[in-house]
Amino acid sequence: MKKVLEVCLSPDLGGLELYMKNITKYLNSPAVINKKSKLKDILKNEKIDYFELSKYNFFKLAHIIDKEEIDIVHLHWTKDIPVVVFAKLLSKRKPKIVQTRHMHMTRFKSDFYHKFLYKNIDMMIAVTNLVKEQLEKFIPKDIRPKIETSYIGANTPKILSYEEKNNLKKSLNITDEFIVCIVGRIEEAKGQHIVLQAVEKLRKNSIKIKTLVVGHYMDENYFNNLKNSYPSDIFTGFVSNPTDFMQISDCLVLATKKETFGLVLIEAMKCGVCVLGSNSGGPLEIIDDEKTGLLFESMNSDSLCEKLSFIIEDEKLKESLAVNAKIKADEVFDSQKQFEKIKNLLKN
């Protein structure tokens, strides 16, 4: 097997960084992270080998490539492209470069510098077909790397017992309300306000319903404004076990304005929970409308309110959507299957 080095110099801790950690573990590869990376403790706990780098130190990266006898450098954060390309050119081994593209590409900078960078990338793996189309559209053909698609998968979650669910509900003062869950960083683009508005409308129509908002805030003003405006709803803050909270909910909503992918939808589907997503970006490739979930108009609380009322009034519909979603998630969006696909792409 070729020796792969996983690189992610992003200091943050979100889906992209955790994905890099998971693929590193699956491939049993060493990783290179930022000195200030929030991944450090997780890698230590999970006994994953890693090197630390200050942001632009391509000399050190070149040294690591040669010392570790690396054949392929696999990067995830677009800002790391220059560091990886210069490290490749400085190294003796001249490894292949593969980038997993996690974000949309909206334009290509067609200057000499960007063309030079992309010329040195051997393959790009898009996380959705839409991202693949964008890469094919914006990267000029004469310098375009080979492009493949591989969805991000989710692990099969730990399923809670009836008693564990009840205990968690009690701790949140949930009795018999219909629970609408939204999981993710709390900021305007993620659309928590859209979900809270829709649920509030239903509550005014005498429906026993609550929003369960799971996640840490990025924008304190936005968060405090929501908390003060919607005192009947539940805000958990950051939790390390979001799939537990999904399992005590009737449905999960992804309300992001334009989500590249939407891993939380897949996690909820694997939990056997009904999902609703906004009709732009990634959710269009995850949800088959009215079969494995429901799509609503992006950033439109009336549209979401209408779709929520369908599953509140029709328990059978809610259940069949959840069952179909679980089948699809296990078949198409399983992390082991997707990691195996990437392993084969890298091997070849």
Which domains does the chain possess? 4-153+334-347 (3.40.50.2000), 162-332 (3.40.50.2000)
pLDDT score at 279: 96
pLDDT score at 1: 75
pLDDT score at 114: 96
pLDDT score at 122: 98
Q: How confident is the model over 311-342, as pLDDT tens digits?
A: 999 999 999 999 999 999 999 999 999 999 99
pLDDT score at 339: 95
**pLDDT tens track, the chain, 348 positions:** 799 999 999 998 888 999 999 999 999 999 999 999 999 999 999 999 999 999 889 999 999 999 999 999 999 999 999 999 999 999 999 999 999 999 999 999 889 999 999 999 999 999 999 999 999 999 999 999 999 999 999 999 999 999 999 999 999 999 999 999 999 999 999 999 999 999 999 999 999 999 999 999 988 999 999 999 999 999 999 998 999 999 999 999 999 998 999 999 999 999 999 999 999 999 999 999 999 999 999 999 999 999 999 999 999 999 999 999 999 999 999 999 999 999 999 988
Three-state secondary structure string covering the chain: CCCEEEEECCCCCCHHHHHHHHHHHHHCCCEEEECCCCCHHHHHHCCCCEEEECCCCHHHHHHHHHHCCCCEEEECCHHHHHHHHHHHHHCCCCCEEEEEECCCCCCCCCCHHHHHHHHCCCEEEECCHHHHHHHHHHCCHHHCCEEEECCCCECCCCCCCHHHHHHHHHHCCCCCCEEEEEECCECHHHCHHHHHHHHHHHHHCCCCEEEEEECCECCHHHHHHHHHHCCCCEEEECCCCHHHHHHCCCEEEECCCCECCCHHHHHHHHCCCEEEEECCECHHHHCCECCCEEEECCCCHHHHHHHHHHHHHCHHHHHHHHHHHHHHHHHHCEHHHHHHHHHHHHHC
Q: How confident is the model over 105-134, as pLDDT tens digits?
A: 999 988 999 999 999 999 999 999 999 999
